[in-house]
Structure formats: C-alpha cells, structure tokens
Amino acid sequence: MTIPESTAAAGAGPDVSRIPDPHRPGVLARLRDRRVSGWLFLLPLIAFNLFVVLVPSTFSVWYSFTDWTGISSKAKFIGLENYRNLFRDPEFVQGLEHNVLWTLFFLIVPMAMGLFGAYALSRIRRFRLLFRTLYFIPYIVASVVNASIWRSILDPQNGLGDLLHINPLGDQHLALWSVEFVNNWAWWGFLVVVFLAAMQGVNPSLYEAATMDGAGATRQFFAVTLPAIRPTFAFLGLMTIIWSFLAFDYVYILTQGGPAGSTDLLSTVAYRNAFSNLQGGYASATGIVMALISGVVVTVYLVIRKTREWET
C-alpha cells in the first residue's frame, strides 16, 4: 500500500477521529431507542402544557401582588396587600370554612358509599356490569344537566320541596347540604368503578385463607380488602381533597353561592371578585391560596406514600 506523501511527510497515520466507530449506534438507531423516542413523542405535549399552564400561572402569581381590575392593561404592584386582606375578608373566611365542610363530607360519605358499593358488586356474579353501568352514568352526564334535573326535583313549589314543606336550595341551613347531596349523587358511582377495579386485583388466595380461618364477609373486608387496596384508597382520598377545593359547577348552577353566601366556596368567591367586582388581583390571590392548599396536600401524600413504601 502506498502512503500519501503528505501523511508520510507528517510522520503520522490516518485521522482516527474521523473513522466511524462500528460499535457506536447511529442517529436512526438512537431514535429507535424506546427512551429517546418516548421523550420525542412527549415533547409536544410538554411544550403545550408549559404554554397553557405555566404561562397563565406565572401571570396569576404576578397579578396577585397587584391591584389589577381584570379588564385593564394597567396593574400597580401593592405587595402582600391582597393576601393580608384575604384573611380579614368575611366572604373568604366563610368560603374557606365551607370548603373544609365540603371536603370532610366528600371524604366520608361518597368514599364510604363507593367502598360499600364496590365490595357489594365484587361479591355478586350476575348483573355486575349492569349495576356498574347504572352507577357510572350520572358521572358522565354533564354537570349542568344533572344540576338542572335536581333543581327541578328539589323545587319548593312543584318538587320534593313542596312535598316535604322545605326549600332545600333556598334555606340557609339546608342549601350547602343539598348541593353536596346532588354533587355526591353524580360522583360516588365513579368511586365504585375505581374501587371495584382495585378489588378485582386482590389475590383470591387471601380470601380463601381468611375463609379457612373462619373470617366472615365483614372481617374479610377490613382484614383483606382494605389493606390490599390501600394505595387506591389513599390516592382517591388525595384527589377528593384537591377536587373539593376546585368545586364550582354544581354550586354555581344550583345556588350561585346563595342564599346569603351559605353555599359560597373559595372558587365562587374568587369568580365573583374577578368578574363582578372587577378585582382580578384579589381573585388571583384567592386562586394562589387554593393552589398552595392543594400543594400542601399533595406533598403530605407523597411523603406518606414514600415512608409507607406504597409503591411496592
């Protein structure tokens, strides 16, 4: 073989860095890698979420420190004034109290109904799909339709209100419970379906062992079923708390926060301040407080999940 004169003159061999490594995967091979291709498919979704979530969130944080009206392009920085006023505002405090009551109700009543309904369905073989479908239908119906139907049913002149001589949505002592009842009617079927799916994944040998030990249905539920579906139970509890602080549609459609603020939640207070009172900055501060509450709940859940090793 003849060595090029220039190379020979330099006293060196061919440039090794330009020789392709046969063991190094090419670009196409790296794109075919599942990890790389997975990230490539996720990139548009991540970019879209950053645009529709991060950008408005950043603006909300900024406006919460201003006197922005919600319609003007001008906003004056006022520091923590909105946050100081929040906890002196009786509407905000009342809305926060109602949100706590709302959360406790949905952590107890629908969760208990969902567990009982799912466990009852898991014990039968016939018509299970029929009952599961019937329970789930209210959840997939639009909230405005559900609320309108129940508004007619509870009507104090032509509905149950007339029959029972009460005004469920017009009485300050009954209104919040009535709205919770209607929302729960549409919600608990979803919990039944999720709990039932979790229960169907429980190892049948655990029930057989419990039966051999003489455990009845109730003891099997508390000793076998509940521990086995604990991660699902905790996750739904977490989401129930978060969704409870975001509740808006049923309250707004049925009562709009009335009568006399007896059904006001933080969301309806923020909506009224933003679009009726033209206090966009103040409403943004309310939204930030709601987000912080949800953040604290999620953090506590993640810590508990990690310490209890629920992943395994």
What are the tens digits of pLDDT across the range 228-241? 998 899 889 888 98
- Band (pLDDT 50/70/90 cuts) for residue 3 is very low
* Residue 136 to residue 118: CA distance in whole angstroms: 12
> Which pLDDT does position 25 carry in this prediction?
60
Asked if pLDDT for residue 163 goes beyond 50, the answer is yes
Cα angle 108-109-110, degrees, rounded to a multiple of 5: 105
pTM reported for the whole predicted model: 0.81
Asked if pLDDT for residue 302 goes beyond 70, the answer is yes
Asked if pLDDT for residue 48 goes beyond 80, the answer is yes
* Residue 228 to residue 221: CA distance in whole angstroms: 10
Q: What percent of the chain has pLDDT over 90?
A: 50
- Band (pLDDT 50/70/90 cuts) for residue 23 is low
Asked if pLDDT for residue 283 goes beyond 90, the answer is yes
Span 177-213, pLDDT tens digits: 999 999 999 999 999 999 999 999 999 999 899 999 8
Give the mean model confidence (pLDDT) for residues 275-290.
93
Q: Which of 172, 176, 173 is nearest to 102 (CA)?
A: 176
Average pLDDT, the chain: 86
DSSP annotation of 251 reads: H
- Band (pLDDT 50/70/90 cuts) for residue 10 is very low
> Which pLDDT does position 13 carry in this prediction?
54
Among 25-34, 36-45, 164-173, 275-284, the least confident range: 25-34
> Which pLDDT does position 123 carry in this prediction?
84
- Band (pLDDT 50/70/90 cuts) for residue 286 is very high
> Which pLDDT does position 80 carry in this prediction?
92
Give the mean model confidence (pLDDT) for residues 12-33.
60
Give the mean model confidence (pLDDT) for residues 40-47.
88
* Residue 62 to residue 212: CA distance in whole angstroms: 63
- Band (pLDDT 50/70/90 cuts) for residue 255 is very high
Among 21-30, 268-277, 280-289, the least confident range: 21-30
Residue type, 13: G
Span 83-140, pLDDT tens digits: 999 989 999 999 999 999 999 999 999 999 999 999 999 888 888 888 888 888 999 9
Instruction: Dump the DSSP string for 16-63.
Output: GGGSPPTTS--HHHHHHSHHHHHHHHHHHHHHHHIIIIIHHHHHHHHH
